[in-house]
Amino acid sequence: MVAELKADEFKVEVLESSSPVLVDFYATYCEPCKRLLPIVEELSKEYEGKVKIVKFNVENSPEIAGQYGIMGVPALLFFKGGEVVDRLIGFQSKPALKEALDRLLN
């Protein structure tokens, strides 16, 4: 299961992580976010030990979403060494996400 981050965990779990991180920024009212979650769950199992995959509810902490320029959800941000290295906005297919995760690892 993909871990849900709280605002006070973001720095340690994402910015200070020694492994690459995919953050799924979502909102409970967002239908595309709900459709994306099973794909993200599958990928978290497939990339276990390689990429940390977490989700973050923008409704609970809009300031962090704002800090990364999140204007709509779902938004998928890829972090490496504490920096955003890639982003995908809107619903994404599993192949598109796998391609982005593979880029993150190379």
33 carries an active-site annotation: yes
Q: For the chain, which residues score pLDDT lower than 70?
A: none
Whether 77 and 54 have beta carbons less than 8 Å apart is answered as: no
Cis-peptide into 20, omega within 30 deg: no
Which residue is catalytic, options 30, 37, 88, 89?
30
Q: What is the CATH number of the domain that holds 77?
A: 3.40.30.10
pLDDT value for 91:
97
Whether 82 and 27 have beta carbons less than 8 Å apart is answered as: no
CA triplet 13, 21, 23: central angle to 5 degrees? 85
- For residue 99, what are the domain limits? 3-105
Which residues neighbour 2 within 8 Å (Cβ) at sequence distance 6 or greater? Answer: 24, 37, 40, 41, 44, 53, 54, 55
Which residue is catalytic, options 33, 75, 77, 101?
33
pLDDT tens-digit readout, 41-53: 999 999 999 999 9
Q: Specify the number of domains making up the chain.
A: 1
pLDDT tens-digit readout, 60-74: 999 999 999 999 999
Q: What is the 3-state secondary structure (H, E, C) of 6-22?
A: CHHHHHHHHHCCCCCEE
30 carries an active-site annotation: yes
pLDDT value for 30:
97
